[in-house]
Each structure stands twice: as structure tokens, then as C-alpha cells.
Amino acid sequence: MDLKFLGKGSAFYPVYGNTGAYMLYGKELYLLDCGETAFDALYRRLELAKIERVYVLQTHLHADHVGSLGSLISYFHHILGRQVTVVHPQPTIVQLLTLEGIGQQGYVYEERLPENAAGLQAEPVEVKHAADMKCYGYVITDQSESIYYSGDSSELPPKIRERFLKGDIQRIYHDTASADLPNPSHCYYGRMEGWIPKEKRGQVYCMHLDSPCEEVLRGKGFSVVEVEG
């Protein structure tokens, strides 16, 4: 599964761009979140006119994860004449898009990722991040492997950790913070150290960074996502 990152920063560290990633399967684009900087990054890096289908898996509705979704939908609808499929377990995303003036003639809303040509499956996993909205990670599976993408989360769900340590999930992409706060909404790397044995940390990719802390994370044995130039 070839996951490419458009950004790796947190909302309050915009130097690294909003965290989000995508996969291309032929002429189909699978996008994980669509934050404020995502559409611009996609427009510059991909020949969007050649994309025939777009699926957007939304983890939650904070602006750094959904901020340019309306622009992406409008571009594909008005310029390219195609609908985007928006996937999120909660229909609140439809309300948000309606408030932005994005009608459902421009997109298809699904609670779960529908059957697709790539054979991808996406299992939503509720995570702890914000008290005022439901937030999700996704276990994404293709014909060869399964990965876990956390979105924003203050902890690694125990069932995901168990599946990872058993080898049922091959890689984890996780929200990682350098600050250890008393009521966290993001995951302090010290907590990850306690959950992941050192010999497995190379398979855990840190993202949503709140500072230039890559060397510290690599020193602990973790990997860090790379952003395309």
C-alpha cells in the first residue's frame, strides 16, 4: 500500500502543512482527510484531470482535516464534471458542506467506504480526540496488507495495539505530539514508547507533528512520515 503524504504538521504547526495522505490506484484517488492545505498540494502534485474517481476518508471535522474539502468537491464537480465520494461515519459532514454552500449534486456521501476498483476496505475506529465531536481512525486493508491511520487521537486504541503486535496490522500511522499535557487531545510520544516495544517502533510512522521533533522520534526508534517535495 503506497501511502503518500501531503503534509505532516498539526493545526498549530503549519510549517509542515496539514497532515493528510493519498493513494493512487490507476485513475482512482483515495484521500485521507482534506485539510486547509490539501487541495493546493494535490493540485500542484497530481494531474487531477486524469483522475476519474475520488474517495475522501474523513477522520473528523476540524479545519486542518476538512478545510479544503469543499474546494476539492467544487473543482471536480464544476471543472471536471465528476462527483467526489465523501466517507465519514457521521452525517454531520453533510451539514458542514451544506453550510459552505456545497450541495449534494457535487458529491456522494457514504458512512463506509463502498466497494471500489482498488479492492480497498476501510474499517472506522472511534478514537479519543475532542469532547465535542466523534473522531475516527481507519484500518485500511488491500489484498496484501493492513495499516492503521489514526487521524487525530490522544491514544492508540488497545484493540489496534493488539492487532499490530500480533502482525494483523503491518504499519501504524499515528498522531504524535512532543508536548506532554495533562488533558491531551494528541498523543505524546512518551505514551507511544510504553505501548510499542522498541523492535516494532520502526513500523510506527509519526505524523501530525507539533514541532520539528523528527530526530527525537527517530532516536526513540520510531519512523516519521515523509512529505513529497
Average pLDDT per consecutive 10 residues, the chain (229 residues; last block may be shorter): 97 97 98 98 98 99 98 98 98 98 97 98 98 97 98 98 98 97 94 97 99 98 93
Q: Which helix (H) or strand (E) holds 9?
A: none
CA end-to-end span of the chain: 20
CATH class of residue range 4-224: alpha beta
Question: For residue 81, is it left (φ>0), alpha (ψ between -120 and 50) or beta?
Answer: left
Say if CB 22 and CB 52 are below 8 A apart.
Answer: no
Question: In whole angstroms, how large is the CA radius of gyration of the chain?
Answer: 17
| pLDDT at site 82 | 98
d(CA 135, CA 14): 21
| pLDDT at site 1 | 92
| pLDDT at site 228 | 81
Q: Which three cell numbers stand for residue 15?
A: 510549517
| pLDDT at site 182 | 86
pTM above 0.95, yes or no: yes
Measure Cα distances from 54 to 69, 109, 139 in Å.
12, 12, 19
| pLDDT at site 83 | 98
d(CA 139, CA 169): 8
d(CA 181, CA 187): 9
| pLDDT at site 199 | 98
| pLDDT at site 42 | 98
Which residue is listed with cell 512532543?
178
| pLDDT at site 221 | 99
| pLDDT at site 219 | 98
Which residue is listed with cell 465519514?
88
d(CA 133, CA 131): 6
DSSP bridge partners of 124: 138
- The ranges assigned to domains in the chain are 4-224
